[in-house]
Every structure is written in structure tokens, then in C-alpha cells.
Copies of this chain bind each other. A is one copy, B any other.
Amino acid sequence: MATVNDPNRSPVERASLDRAAWIEAAIDLIATEGIAGLRIETLARKLRVTKGSFYWHFRDRRALQRALLEHWREGRIRDIHKQTRARPGHEAEQLRHVIDVYSASRNRKGILIELAIREWAQRDPEVAEVVAEVDAIRLACARDLFLALGLSEEEATARATLLYAYVFGFSLMHVERMPQEIERLKTRIAGWITGPAAGDDEGSSERLHAE
């Protein structure tokens, strides 16, 4: 079917490229079907090959899962570092961007992948460890931005945690409102989370009734 080989690439590179194709397809599949829907023969049909191909590239199902998970881990770590690289004076903007990336309207696929991985993590301790690692890095990066905004250590940690919990949680909700209303709602929440540098240590009754 496809060209069997590419003289420009060493066998190792070609093999790794084909593995990558399987991993990509696997990620697409778990986005739509969840981790339980990740079946080898289903995947093979999508790639227009048979599972004979799969078992040449991977030892078994778990090998694909591990590779997929590792691919996800690396991508997320790379992304968060890119999104939160120190840019003095732009911290609030960067935080809003972090929220936006997983804002439920755009990037639907990314959200579905994230949710599928986390659902998987509920039932597989090895996956939970990887998710914990990604969470720790994301939380540290977001916390640093809040610190740069002048929040205390503890307050920055709390805000970072709230930020991510909100982002993931919102994508789990089914809000029945006009798209425009939802955007307005999300903007308000995002503004509040990234918002006023004054933490909860100071009286802030105005904030409550503001707007």
C-alpha cells in the first residue's frame, strides 16, 4: 500500500515514524471513544491495515498505551512551559491564555483527550502517576505566574489549583445557555481567577458587589 521504505531514513527512524502514526491514531480514538474504545483491530481498520502491522510495531496493547501516555506527557509539559515562559508584565495575559487553551468551545479535541486520559487515570495507577507529574508541573508554572503578579506563595498555589480545576471541571459541565452568554460567563470567571491581586486576606467587600 504505502511505500515500504524511504531511503532517506534509517530503519530506526522509519520504524519510529510508523509507531508515531499508530500513536496519533490512538489518541484520536481515545478522544472520541475513551480509553476503553482503544482497540487494536479498530485502530488498524482506521489506518487501513491489519493488526499484523500493529504487532510488528508494538509488543501488545499495553505497549501502545504506554507510548501514547508518554507522548501525551511530553506534549503537555512542552506546552505548559511554552505558555508560561517568563514574560515580565504579561503574566495575567499568559494566565488567561492558559485558561483559553482548554476553553470548552475551541480545542474540543484537546479537551476530550485530556478528559480521556484523566478518566483512564482513575482506574490505572501508572496513568495516575503520569497525570500527577503533569499536574505538578502545570501547577508550578501557573503558580509562578501568580507569584509574579504579587500574590503570596500560598495564595498563588491556591489560585493555580483553582484555575486548572475550573478549566477541567467546566469542560465536564453541560451549560444550557446561549453561546454568547457562556462566553460572557467564562470571561467573568477567568477574570476573577486571574483577577484582582488582592487575595482573601484583605477585606474585599467591594469586589463582591462590583460590576
| Contact indicator B192/A203 (Cβ below 8 Å) | no
Residues in A165-211 with C-beta less than 8 Å from chain B: 165-170, 172-176, 185, 188-189, 191-193, 195-205, 208-209, 211
Q: Which residues of the other chain, B, contact A135 by a CB distance below 8 angstroms? A: 173-176
Residue A29, interface by CB 8 Å? no
A156 → B minimal CB distance (Å):
10
Residue A128, interface by CB 8 Å? yes
Q: Are A188 and B154 CB-contacts (below 8 A) given A170-B161, A173-B161?
A: yes
Q: Which segment of A10-18, A46-54, A116-124 sits at the interface? A: A116-124
Q: Whose C-beta in chain B lies nearest to the C-beta of A114?
A: B172
Q: Which residues of the other chain, B, contact A123 by a CB distance below 8 angstroms? A: 32-34
Task: Identify whether the interface residues of A are mostly helix, strand, loop, or mixed.
Answer: helix
Q: Which residues of the other chain, B, contact A165 by a CB distance below 8 angstroms? A: 165-167, 169-170, 172-173, 189
A194 → B minimal CB distance (Å):
11
Residues in A111-134 with C-beta less than 8 Å from chain B: 112, 115, 118-119, 121-123, 128-129, 131-132
| Contact indicator B174/A132 (Cβ below 8 Å) | yes
This chain: copies in complex: 2
Residue A94, interface by CB 8 Å? no
Residue A155, interface by CB 8 Å? yes
A132 to B161, CA, bound (A): 25
A167 to B157, CA, bound (A): 17
Can you list 18 A-B pairs with a CB-CB distance of less than 8 A?
A32-B123, A112-B122, A115-B122, A135-B174, A136-B176, A139-B175, A152-B209, A158-B188, A161-B170, A162-B192, A164-B173, A165-B172, A165-B173, A168-B169, A168-B173, A192-B200, A196-B203, A200-B203
A-B contacts besides A34-B123, A152-B209, A165-B166, 19 pairs, CB < 8 Å: A34-B34, A131-B173, A131-B174, A136-B176, A150-B208, A151-B208, A158-B188, A158-B189, A162-B189, A164-B173, A165-B189, A166-B169, A188-B200, A195-B208, A196-B200, A196-B203, A196-B208, A197-B205, A201-B202
